[in-house]
Amino acid sequence: MEALAFGLTFALPALAAAVAVGMIGVAALNGFARNPEKLSDIRSLMITAIVFVDSLAIIGIIVAIIARFI
């Protein structure tokens, strides 16, 4: 049961991050389709958003590892 809890605690942040990165990509492509001249602005905002999402996923994974060994 403890291994299942660790697996879920480890997998849920990764799954949420993957979904969020997909949503960010779709929104960026949609924005680029509407305003092709704003490519560099949209790209920089997309990269910034992906960095924030990935940092939250890394924090979730670290919390799962810490909770496993405490």
Q: What is the pLDDT of residues 18-57, one digit of tens each?
A: 999 999 999 999 999 999 999 999 999 999 999 999 999 9
Q: What is the pLDDT of residue 54?
A: 94
23 or 1, which is more confident? 23
Record the tokens describing residue 63, joined without a space.
Answer: 């919390």
Interatomic CA distance for residues 40 and 66, integer angstroms: 39
Band of pLDDT at residue 5, cut at 50, 70 and 90: confident
Q: What is the pLDDT of residue 53?
A: 95
Q: Give residue limits of the domains in the chain.
A: 2-69
What CATH class has 2-69? mainly alpha
The DSSP call for residue 36 is G
Backbone φ, ψ for residue 55 (5° rounding): -65, -35
